[in-house]
């Protein structure tokens, strides 16, 4: 019923915003992800691109355009914690893939912001299904460097403010893939990372480097914020033993560490919680696809959460990829089915990624003063049968169109004709 009632919502909102700077979304079920929890029959007021108020007894401003949502649900905009959106277009066409380099010369100083494409056709495909923000990360190719470079947080809602935070994190590949890159085993891999950090530390203290330089001057400069604890180091690593060794290294240098992949991270849940190290994982990863993920488990997200580890979800390296970043809500739903509380699953695809990259002061929750990046749903947002009926980015109602919807609309009228031709005796 709600789906039919909201059929014209996008057009109504777009028209309303052209006439008024204030919008009141009424009679909604609002998942605030704040101490207020989930509010039923509530109102959310947007003014000048910000959330002005959220509550159940709000007075509607005289200048507001009122949209009765008739019980539809509202969540913060979804945030994919690890993608290559804006960098990869067609995986099989090398010329359209800009996420990284196979040239070992280029390392920590690489900045994906130099190659991001805000007009990628993958962006509206994912945006109309609730993704408003994403980390667009670099990746090192099979012959590439250990340190992949720096990623950027992007907004899928605007061309003029596409990059929300440039150089938002440093990325490194460890484990099996990292060892293959340096053509050595895991001890050599950790040694190479330690050498890079030591060299950066010496250069930062103006002490002369007593050995051949492993890093360029630009690489060392890019690593300085990592050593200062200002820039997170996102490490692609899965095996519990590798994670434990990395935790030791991070402690030695006081790094702000984030685990990505983490197939066996749940085995070290208590240690990760104690060191306050978050984990970006795919909660549907429950099979030992590699030797380094033999202990993969469907309830890994629930185990980590119960231990007090902050978790975020992404399927880039396992099941969904950037082309289907929109499927992170399905990942969240699967995590709920295996013991993760519903609100924790929603936070893992909204508030927590914003927090990992230092954007939780403006994104991730629905409360006064936050940016009005949110999604209206016709059912449970974590159910695959539900759909986003309207997406907002920075207070702007976005067109609910993509290349896929345009193709659908273009050819939908030919179905009846084609069926008649097939049925003709």
Q: For residues 215-227, give the mean pLDDT.
A: 92
pLDDT at position 358: 97
Distance CA 334, CA 336 (A): 5
Distance CA 364, CA 79 (A): 8
pLDDT at position 11: 47
Distance CA 261, CA 234 (A): 10
Please, which pLDDT band fits residue 418 given cuts at 50, 70 and 90?
A: very low
Extract the tokens encoding 294: 């033999």
Checking if the pLDDT of 19 tops 70, the result is no
Checking if the pLDDT of 212 tops 80, the result is no
Checking if the pLDDT of 216 tops 90, the result is no
pLDDT at position 25: 97
Q: For residues 255-263, give the mean pLDDT.
A: 97
**153 close to 168: Cβ distance less than 8 angstroms:** yes
pLDDT at position 204: 64
Checking if the pLDDT of 163 tops 70, the result is yes
pLDDT, tens only, 141-151: 777 788 999 99
pLDDT, tens only, 74-91: 999 999 999 999 998 887
pLDDT at position 2: 55
| Vertex 383: Cα angle to 124 and 164 (nearest 5) | 35
pLDDT at position 269: 98
Least confident of 92-96, 199-203, 370-374: 92-96
Checking if the pLDDT of 236 tops 70, the result is yes
pLDDT, tens only, 281-296: 999 999 898 899 999 9
Pairing of strands 38-47, 22-31: antiparallel
Could you tell me the CA-to-CA distances from 252 to 194, 197, 227, 228, 262 in Å, in that order? 10, 11, 10, 12, 21
Residue by residue, DSSP assigns 154-176 as: EESS-STT-EEEEEEEEEEE-HH
Q: For residues 112-124, give the mean pLDDT.
A: 93
Please, which pLDDT band fits residue 61 given cuts at 50, 70 and 90?
A: very high
Extract the tokens encoding 343: 């609100």
| DSSP category for residue 265 | G
């Amino acid at each position: 019923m709600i789906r039919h009632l909201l059929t014209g919502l996008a057009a109504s909102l777009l028209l309303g915003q052209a006439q008024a700077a204030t919008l009141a979304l009424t009679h909604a079920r609002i998942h605030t992800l704040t101490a207020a929890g989930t509010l039923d029959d509530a109102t959310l007021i947007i003014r000048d691109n910000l959330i002005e108020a959220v509550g159940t007894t709000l007075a509607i401003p005289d200048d507001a355009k009122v949209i009765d949502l008739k019980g539809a649900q509202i969540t913060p905009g979804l945030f994919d914690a690890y993608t290559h959106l804006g960098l990869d277009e067609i995986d099989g066409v090398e010329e359209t893939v800009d996420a990284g380099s196979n040239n070992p010369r280029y390392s920590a100083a690489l900045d994906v912001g130099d190659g991001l494409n805000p007009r990628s056709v993958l962006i509206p495909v994912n945006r109309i299904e609730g993704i408003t923000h994403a980390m667009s990360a670099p990746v090192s190719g099979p012959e590439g460097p250990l340190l992949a470079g720096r990623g950027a947080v992007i907004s899928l809602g605007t061309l003029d403010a596409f990059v929300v935070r440039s150089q938002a994190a440093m990325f490194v590949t460890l484990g099996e893939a990292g060892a293959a890159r340096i053509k050595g085993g895991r001890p050599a891999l950790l040694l190479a990372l330690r050498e890079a950090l030591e060299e950066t530390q010496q250069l930062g203290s103006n002490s002369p480097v007593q050995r051949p330089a492993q890093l360029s001057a630009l690489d060392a400069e890019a690593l300085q914020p990592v050593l200062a604890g200002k820039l997170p180091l996102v490490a692609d690593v899965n095996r519990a033993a590798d994670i434990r060794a990395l935790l030791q290294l991070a402690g030695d240098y006081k790094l702000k560490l984030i685990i990505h992949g983490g197939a066996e991270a749940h085995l070290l849940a208590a240690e990760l919680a104690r060191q306050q190290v978050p984990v970006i994982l795919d909660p549907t990863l429950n099979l030992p696809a590699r030797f380094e993920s033999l202990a993969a488990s469907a309830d890994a997200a629930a185990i980590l959460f119960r231990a007090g580890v902050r978790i975020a979800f992404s399927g880039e390296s396992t099941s969904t990829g950037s082309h289907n970043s929109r499927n992170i809500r399905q990942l969240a739903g699967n995590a709920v089915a295996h013991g993760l509380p519903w609100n924790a699953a929603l936070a893992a695809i909204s508030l927590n990624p914003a927090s990992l990259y230092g954007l939780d002061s403006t994104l991730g929750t629905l409360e006064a003063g936050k940016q009005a990046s949110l999604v209206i749903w016709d059912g449970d947002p974590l159910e695959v049968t539900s759909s986003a009926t309207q997406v907002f980015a920075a207070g702007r109602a976005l067109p609910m169109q993509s290349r896929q919807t345009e193709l659908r609309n273009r050819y939908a009228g030919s179905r009846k004709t084609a069926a008649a031709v097939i049925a003709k005796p």
